[in-house]
Amino acid sequence: MAKTLVIIPTYNEMDNLPRMLDRLDTTGLELDVLIVDDGSPDGTGQWVKDQTAKRKNLHLIQREGKQGLGSAYVRGFRYAIENGYEFVFEMDADFSHDPEYLPQFLREIEANDLVIGSRYINGVNVVNWPMSRLLLSYFANVYARWATGMPIQDATAGFKCYRVAALKTLDLSKIRSSGYGFQIELKYKLWKKGFRIKEIPIIFRDRTAGTSKMSGGIIKEALFLLIRLRFFGGSA
């Protein structure tokens, strides 16, 4: 099987991550897992550190203080490039992204450069989000499609599989956004370069354990990013 890395950024995920790693063990896939932890006060990083002694496929990058999802992924991408991985996944620790879909992603990535787990093809497949959050996400996507012209139904999706060769062509040091903006920015840059992008339908479930890191700052950042992409072509 191609060398594949699942990157999971974590901030206070002790209620989810132990179960998530067990779940990943049951997929029967040969996957390496990289946790990028930002000094979680609940001890997630220390727990992973202890686990690496037992789990050969588990890797850990510990950073000091919460630095945002985007920069955690960029750190993970660099790790994937340096260590010769062919495919890399972005996945949340909180079970919103169901590992059940991993085999499907891996089938589709064979003929693509980016596979996106989409909540918005074949209707709206989000379970347990309050209506306000669903509307925010849905209209953020309508706006993102309009602003960028990308034919992608779920531009803010965070469950994705990349071909590392495609990621390598990006200047990762230029990626600045950290929240939903990060998700849009990467799709946009790969789409602009003409890479093959495929969306597959997934059911997205709201987290049932741990705490949310959603904030007004993340939303504002995404709004300004889209203005930048639309009027300055993403080179800024």
Ligand X SMILES: Nc1nc2c(ncn2[C@@H]2O[C@H](COP(=O)(O)OP(=O)(O)OP(=O)(O)O)[C@@H](O)[C@H]2O)c(=O)[nH]1
The pattern of x and - marking residues 85 through 104 that bind Mg ion according to CB under 5 A reads: -------x-x-x--------
Which does residue 9 touch among Mg ion, ligand X, none (CB within 5 to 8 A, set by kind)? ligand X
- Please tell me the count of residues contacting Mg ion according to CB under 5 A: 4
3-class DSSP state of 165: helix
CA 157 to chain CA mean position, Å: 7
Total residues binding ligand X (CB under 6 A): 21
Find the DSSP H helices in the chain: 17-25, 44-51, 69-82, 102-109, 131-148, 164-167, 180-192, 216-232
Please give the full DSSP string across 181-209, using - where no structure is assigned.
HHHHHHHHHHHHTT--EEEEE--EE---S
Task: Considering the complex, state which of residue 1 and residue 131 has its C-beta at the smaller distance from ligand X.
Answer: 131
Name the residue nearer to ligand X (CB basis): 3 or 207.
207
Least distance to Mg ion, CB of residue 120, Å: 17
Site for ligand X in 130-189 (CB under 6 A): none
Among residues 34, 179, 188, 180, which one has the least CA distance to residue 114? Answer: 188
- Which listed range, 23-31, 34-42, 50-58, 144-152, lies at the site for ligand X (CB under 6 A)? 34-42
- The reply to whether 117 sits near ligand X by the rule CB under 6 A is no
